[in-house]
Amino acid sequence: MINFAIVGMGHIANKHIEAIEKAENANLFAICDTNPARLEIENPNVKKYTDLQNMLEENPEIHVVNICVPSGLHTPLTKIVAEQGRHIIVEKPMSLKLHEAEEMMKYANENGVKLAVVHPNRFRPAIQKLKEQMDAGAFGKLSHANATVRWNRNQAYYDQAAWRGTKEFDGGVLMNQAIHDLDLMLWLMGPVESVQAMAATRLRKIETEDVAAAVVQFKNGALGVIEAATTIYPKNLEESIAIFGETASVKISGRNATFIETWDIEGVSEEETDKIKNEIKEDPFGKPGHQCIIEDMVLAVKENRNPIVTGEDGIAPVKLILAILESAETGKKVTLA
């Protein structure tokens, strides 16, 4: 069994608890939060701590620590965990600052530990099917891609905690909501060369943007369009990823980018297409993405290999988002190094 500990027992920690409980060869060993009231969970066998350092020093049996604290605290906690020689799963975004994300990778590498970033949308059945087709070259020369997040996060959502919507601890719609879709866009299309963008805080009383739009050029020459908003009334409308090439057009959409809306691929018959669409419709979410992340880390530790979603993968969308925000602030096209 691989023993897991969770630090930060806010809302997202519940997904980690459920994922660990369902994953093969994984055991929830301990939890940690500076607020003792958050340590009340159903499992009586789990050890409880209010200090991360104490938890690690007293329990060498812990193999992996899941970092679920506000985003602005990821870097210092990663340093503590890495220096104690434990592997790390960190929630998205990896960090709110590029140099801090790079420091996190440095801490992991220097201490010989594995670091995985939670980008669970990669494991959705429709996305997996799309990735298979792209890896097989089914699209030919790529034309462009589109990532859209039209969601509702009302003022009550941001008022739940003082850190929500802040530049120091949370980030805006790009870092907090759209980052999953930007991860998918980069995973499918490859790295970005340059970006031109606009962003605004239109409806929510927060420090960060609640709506943003950007046009990117990938290093392979293809273009991309990004639209992200938490201002949609009255509820989530759409999350989608679309890829267009000389021999294929695919759009995966729905409120959570789970259903195949368009699947036109050269050489794939209408019957085959309908079969694929129906398979996805019957099980659109598949195995929960957090569970996939946990099970992959278990195997990565046992097999001494990198996790599927590495720290480098976590850095890439952070870098893109910061370039989008820089372009929005300066009004100029930004080239990514």
pLDDT of 78 over the 90 cut = yes
What average pLDDT does this structure show over 1-7?
Answer: 98
The C-alpha atoms of residue 16 and residue 302 are separated, in whole angstroms, by: 20
Q: Which of 103, 106, 74, 112 shows the shortest CA–CA distance to 91?
A: 74
Task: Kindly give, in sequence order, each residue whose CB lies less than 8 Å from that of residue 175, ignoring residues fewer than 6 positions away.
Answer: 71, 93, 96, 208, 318, 321
How are strands ordered across the β-sheet holding 223-229? Answer: 259-265, 248-253, 238-245, 142-150, 223-229, 211-218, 192-200, 334-335
Q: What angle do CA 258, 328, 241 make, to 5 degrees?
A: 15
* Averaged pLDDT for residues 81-106: 98
List the structure tokens of 214: 């950007």
Q: Which two tokens stand for residue 204?
A: 């929510």
- Check pLDDT > 90 for residue 77: yes
pLDDT at 204: 98
- Mean pLDDT for 322-333 is 98
| Helix/strand/coil for 337 | coil
Residue 215 predicted with pLDDT over 90: yes
Matching fold, domains 2-120+290-308 and 122-286+318-335? no
Strands 115-117 and 87-90: parallel
Give me the residue label for tokens 């759409």: 238
Contact 117, 195 (CB under 8 A): no
Query: pLDDT, tens digit, for every residue of 247-289?
Result: 999 999 999 999 999 999 999 999 999 999 999 999 999 999 9
Laid out side by side, the sheet with 115-117 consists of: 47-49, 26-32, 2-7, 64-67, 87-90, 115-117
Residue 219 has pLDDT above 90, yes or no: yes
Q: Predicted confidence band at 42 (pLDDT cuts at 50, 70, 90)?
A: confident
Mean of per-residue pLDDT scores for the chain: 97
User: Domain 2-120+290-308 falls in which CATH fold?
Assistant: Rossmann fold (3.40.50)
CA Rg value for the chain? 20
Indicate if the pLDDT at residue 171 is higher than 90.
yes
Measure the CA–CA gap between 312 and 168, rounded to whole angstroms. 22
Instruction: Note the pLDDT of residue 234.
Output: 97
Q: Categorize the per-residue pLDDT at 337 as very low, low, confident or very high, splitting at 50, 70 and 90.
A: confident
Distance CA 228, CA 153 (A): 12
Calpha distance 211→337 (Å, rounded) = 25
Name the maximum alpha-carbon separation found in the chain.
60
Architecture of domain 122-286+318-335: 2-Layer Sandwich (3.30)
Average pLDDT over residues 56-81: 98
Torsion of CA 165, 171, 177, 183, to 10 degrees: 180
Query: What is the reported pTM?
Result: 0.96
Checking 100-107 for CB contacts under 8 A at 24+ apart, the result is 100/74, 100/75, 101/75, 101/311, 101/314, 101/315, 101/318, 101/319, 102/315, 103/75, 103/79, 104/74, 104/75, 104/78, 104/79, 104/311, 105/311, 105/312, 105/315, 107/78, 107/79, 107/82, 107/83
Amino acid at 48: K
pLDDT at 283: 96
Strand partners, 211: 200, 229
- Domain definitions of the chain by residue range: 2-120+290-308, 122-286+318-335
